[in-house]
Every structure is written in structure tokens, then in C-alpha cells.
Structure 1
Amino acid sequence: MSKTITPGACPCGGPSLAACCGPFIEGSALPPTAEALMRSRYTAYTLKNEPYLLATWHPSTRPLDPIVDEKEPIRWLGLEVKSALRLRQRKVNSPDNPDSDTVEFVARFKVGGRAHRLHEVSRFLREPDPDSGAPRWYYVDGSFPK
């Protein structure tokens, strides 16, 4: 069961799906930042939009098996992007690369009446799109802080 989108609300917490993640998911725009891509991927998970998730996953780490189970009774409850300050502090220890970024978030969801939270620090790379050559962000992988 996919999340019901209330009019005027984007699942990622933005003002509206049409003004937030919708253009990225429908393919009429590219997310300008790693955070925008992460938010749109969260929204795609709530919509069970596997084609978008696969298209935005870096080819070097993209899974071959299906990543969305249409029959899974998951209900997405919300997304919290963690403090950018911690990410900036973490970047102080790594070389400055404008084509690489990380985003820390917590996504809350319910499966079978049980609440869960996914706390992840996701890694992203910006590379030329294979078709247009325009720079675009890709999800690479993530780690799970304790």
C-alpha cells in the first residue's frame, strides 16, 4: 500500500509534490543538489516508483534484484534531514569535492503495525547524464550510524 498524498503536501515534507519532488520523479527536471535527490528518492519510495529509484542509483552499486515490493504493506510516516552542520564538520576531514556529497536522514515507517526508523548517511556522486551529458546526482550507498 503506497502512501496517500494529501493535496498540497510532498511526502518529503516540501510544500507540494508538484513544486517539490514531482518534477524530478516525472523527469522534467534534475535535482540540483544531493539533498534534493535524497528527498525525491524518499518520495519515490512512498510512491513505490522503482523506475525512478533505479535511474537515480549509481550504476556501480545499482541492485539487480527488485527493490520495491508492491505487496509489502509499508506506510511511510515522515522524513527528517539531520543537521547540515554535522555534515560540514565531517567534510572538513575529507578533500573538498563539489561532485561528491553526503546527506544524513531519518525516515520513519510502519510495517504490519510496527514502527521503524531508518537512520542513514547516504553518499552521492554528480556525473554527466549518459543521454544528455548534463551533470546529475546519483545515490551511491549509505552507512547506518548507531
Structure 2
Amino acid sequence: AAAGGGASGLPRPRVPLVCADIVRPFPMSIEFEGIPEYQAFMLALQRQAGRRDPNALAAAEACPADENAPFLEILPVDASHRPVQTRIAFDHEAEVLLIDTVGDILTECTRYRVMLHLKGDQKFAELVTGIQSTDR
């Protein structure tokens, strides 16, 4: 049996992404190379940030900034944009990743490289955007 997700034809693990600033007209998720990468990313995030409730980002705003708090860096696909750094938390009830912003760099149906910055470590994944929804 082939190890890893992509080569074996299995779908890559994904976690839906919800942005706190404005609603985007397309779905967003964080996609991982395989199950080991997904598990490492999620365990590291939850270990460092703790499990968060739906008000996680609001609660974090009320507290003084923690320089050790995990954050996500979204790398643009071209040189005309700067990378976006945003706080990240996991909402275990809704099973989504919560972030503050994606800036203005995202477009539909595109893949972006992302880095999860942790105290003394980094994890890599892709932010994947879907097709713009037409039903309103």
C-alpha cells in the first residue's frame, strides 16, 4: 500500500477555514499532503493554542498579545502582494479553523502555500479556495 495521500489517489485531508473579517463568496480550506501532515498540524496548533470556543478570536483580542501565539502566514501567488499573517485557532464544535483575515490576496479556485508559525516550529500546508457560489 502506498503511504501518503496524493500518490494513492485518496483525497487529501482538509479542514474548512472561516475568516472573521468579511465573508468571502467562495469556500476556503486548509489542505494537507497526507494524514501525517494533517495530524501534525492540528496537534501542534491545539497543543499551543489550546482548544478554542467560537469566541476564540474575540477572547484573544481581549487579552494582551501573546508573542508565542500561533499564527498563519499566507504566501501570495505573485509578487504584487505581500504575505498575510493572521492569528489562527481551531473551533472544535464547528470543526473549522478560525482566522482573522486573509487580506486581499485570495481569488477563487486557487492554491496558496501557508505556514503555521509555532513557538520553535513551522508546519506547511495549502490554503485552497473553491468556486464562487452563485446561489444567494
TM over 0.5: no
TM-score, normalised by the number of residues in structure 2: 0.29
TM-score (norm 1): 0.28
Q: Which has the higher helix share?
A: 1
Q: Which has the higher contact order (CA 8 A, sep 6+)?
A: 2
